Structure 1
Amino acid sequence: MKIRNAFVLGLLGGLGVLLAIAIGAAVQQIGTVLVWAFAGIFLALGLEPVIQFLIRRRVPRWAAVLLIFIVIVAALVGAGWLIVPTIIAQFSLLVQAIVQEVESGLLDSVLDWVRETFPAFDVDGTLDQLGGALTDFNTWSSLPPWMAEVVGSIVASIGQVAFAIGGGLIVVVLMLYFTGSLPAIKSGMYRLVPASSRPKFIEIAEQIMKSVGRFVLGQGALGLLNGTLSLIVLSIVGSELAGVYAFIALIASTIPLVGTITASVVISLLVLLLDGPQTALPVAIWYLVYMQLEAYVISPQVMNRAVKVPGVVVVLAALTGGTLLGILGALVAIPVAAAIQLILKEVVIPKQDLK
């Protein structure tokens, strides 16, 4: 159909632009849900090699999925049982220490020092305003701007932590759902491809999904290795929070490139603050040694066997993905790079050779 009227052509073009803007706004609004769904599919592909291993051992798929579900729930419950009581106990000790310091008169000494050093600062008035805000939420508007910003930042941080925990639970539920229905999802996706191109598409898609699964298992193995070794080392040096630190190391080590470094620095600083330099020194030395082993021995072996991507591509992909989508982007960037490399090798290059 040919459109000869310039007004109609401009109207249709404007409607197309408005429709594109509306679609973009809708995608932005549900962006968090899409990220959760993508993370669930990503983790489900990571569990697929384990399910196939069980199926090859004559375990029905439903039984394999149920077994994995039980293991995941047991791991989450075990982690909560290990970490939450420890955190509560340490927080109780912190509150008791603060109360003891207040009762000993340290707080009065600090306030006297502030009054003498900063005579223009109304300490008593500020404390009265803060106390009133804590007992009556209607008086929050009377707080000084800097204090209102601090309180608002604390409340926002608590909200973000709660949101992250809720998002993690949603991702786990989606992961289990996608794990159980993955064959049906793949079958429906393959039927959308024309029959003439379907065999090659299935071959490439299966190779990509296998690479994703091997990558997820590899990162999980790295996290489990770091967590286990951290638990052993921190228990030997006598840290009371060895279980909590080991869990932090396990979770952080699943993030490519920066996860292990970040966890090592954070754990070493926490041990220094809470246990003293005599405990922090061997912990820091251990993490320096482990980071070298992981960076030059363990991680390259995992990457070569999982996704078969050159090291420089791994680094660039992880940095790019982390910049665009944060932690999730860093996780999926390497499998995406492997998928692009596979498509280039199996589709683009053969077509170029035929020309």
Structure 2
Amino acid sequence: MKISNPFRVGLIGTLGVGLGLLIILSVVTLQTILTYIGAAIFISLGLDPLVSWLEKKQFPRWAALIVVIVGLLTLFAGLVWMVVPIIIDQVSELIALIPGLQAQFQEYPLVEVLSDQFPGLDVRAIIADAGKFLTDNITDIGSGAIQVAFAIGSALFGALIILILTIYFTASLGSIKRGLYQLVPATKRERFADLAEQITDSVGRYVIGQVGTAACNGILSFIFLSIIDAPFPPVLATIAFFFSMIPLVGTLIGSIIITLVCLIPGLGSPVTALFAGIYYLIYMQIEAYVISPNVMRRAVAVPGALVVIAALAGGSLLGLLGALVAIPTAAAVLLIIKQVVIPRANEL
């Protein structure tokens, strides 16, 4: 190729590279906002089947939207009401428990064992010094509690933004999809719209199925933890609910966290932790073989190996949101391959 004007070619190339870097920098800068938008779209796709179901029950669309949005607001308010006051109250109680925890550690048989095994190590003095350090640094602990409170406030603010965007996307999802379909050439618009509807329906069914499975875990956890007198059953049940939203390993991670919380001296006991561990071992089998197959029967169908790969990749790229979106995204890719790529390949 003959280059008639090297300066022009260099200038255009430099502008192209600069534009690419600007786009990448903009995406990195706006990653939090893009995450909020992605989460809101994901949730709104999950709420859309509920709106459609209510419309089939002779609800006007505006009434169906109001019912779904009010239910979403009630769920959000309920979670805030259950979790936030308990966390704020327990921070001060935890500080007050420090002397008692120190005394309990002094009486543990493990202290005697360590003292016998390591005669030159004054274990009791170390525990006493640790307690004195915590007592002398109550101010720092309080500032740490304030930082935790700010972190909780930031999380609630982000959840509120996602909630507002979800309400908007749910109310205007139909018009948004119709507007996107208009961007496709008329000759391919019908096929594109059909494929897009299948993808959005599969994502919606997946979200409902995952939330249903998580709700089963959260409700049953609250009932069982209340029966065995575990510490903070509403908080632990909320942890069980949110971790169950994570595919594959979420229920296991949440179960381990809850069991360890039940083991903390002064809050729980080894017996309570043992009951919790046995319960979650049984529950995970029931969820894997009974609850999940029935709840997710009409949701996306993705091969097991692809589920693992998609969940790991999505979690690495976008954290919790990536892990949630990964499986329906993999299902959408499989659908496109089956209905677009393979038919075109067979025509060649």
Q: State whether TM-score is above 0.5.
A: yes
**Does the 8 Å CA contact 1:40/1:178 hold for their aligned counterparts?**
yes
**Corresponding residue for 2:257?**
266
CA separation in 2, counterparts of 1:231 and 1:47? 25
Q: CA deviation at 1:301?
A: 4.6
**Corresponding residue for 1:71?**
71
CA separation in 2, counterparts of 1:348 and 1:270? 50
1:57 paired with 2:48, answer no
**Does the 8 Å CA contact 2:214/2:245 hold for their aligned counterparts?**
yes
**Corresponding residue for 1:31?**
31
**Corresponding residue for 2:335?**
342
Identity %: 45
Return closer, same or farther for 1:155/1:97 CA change in 2, 3 Å cut-off: closer
Q: CA deviation at 1:116?
A: 11
**Does the 8 Å CA contact 2:231/2:262 hold for their aligned counterparts?**
no
Partner AA of 2:73 in structure 1 = V
Q: CA deviation at 1:255?
A: 1.3
Secondary structure of 1:288's aligned partner: helix
Q: CA deviation at 1:156?
A: 6.3
Return closer, same or farther for 1:185/1:3 CA change in 2, 3 Å cut-off: farther
Q: CA deviation at 1:96?
A: 3.4
**Does the 8 Å CA contact 1:255/1:331 hold for their aligned counterparts?**
yes
**Corresponding residue for 1:97?**
97
**Corresponding residue for 1:202?**
193
**Corresponding residue for 1:137?**
none
**Corresponding residue for 2:319?**
326
Q: Which moved more, 1:251-260 or 1:330-339?
A: 251-260
Partner AA of 2:197 in structure 1 = E
Return closer, same or farther for 1:321/1:300 CA change in 2, 3 Å cut-off: farther
Cα RMSD for the two superposed structures: 3.2
1:310 paired with 2:300, answer no
**Corresponding residue for 2:112?**
none
Q: CA deviation at 1:300?
A: 4.2
Return closer, same or farther for 1:90/1:209 CA change in 2, 3 Å cut-off: same
**Corresponding residue for 1:4?**
4
CA separation in 2, counterparts of 1:317 and 1:180? 30
Which runs of 5 or more structure 2 residues have no equivalent in the other structure?
107-121
List aligned pairs for 1:113-132, cutoff 5 A: 113=125
**Corresponding residue for 1:138?**
none
Secondary structure of 1:305's aligned partner: coil
Of 210, 218, 222 in structure 1, the residue corresponding to residue 209 of structure 2 is 218
Q: CA deviation at 1:337?
A: 0.4
CA separation in 1, counterparts of 2:300 and 2:80? 33
Structure 1 residues 9-36: Cα deviation after superposition (integer angstroms, max 9, x where no partner): 1111011111111121112111110110
Q: Which moved more, 1:249-258 or 1:177-186?
A: 249-258
Which runs of 5 or more structure 1 residues have no equivalent in the other structure?
135-146
Partner AA of 1:229 in structure 2 = L
Q: CA deviation at 1:80?
A: 2.8
CA separation in 2, counterparts of 1:310 and 1:160? 38
List aligned pairs for 1:104-115, cutoff 5 A: 113=125
**Corresponding residue for 1:163?**
154
Runs of 4+ in 1 over 6 A off after TM superposition: 99-102, 115-118, 150-156
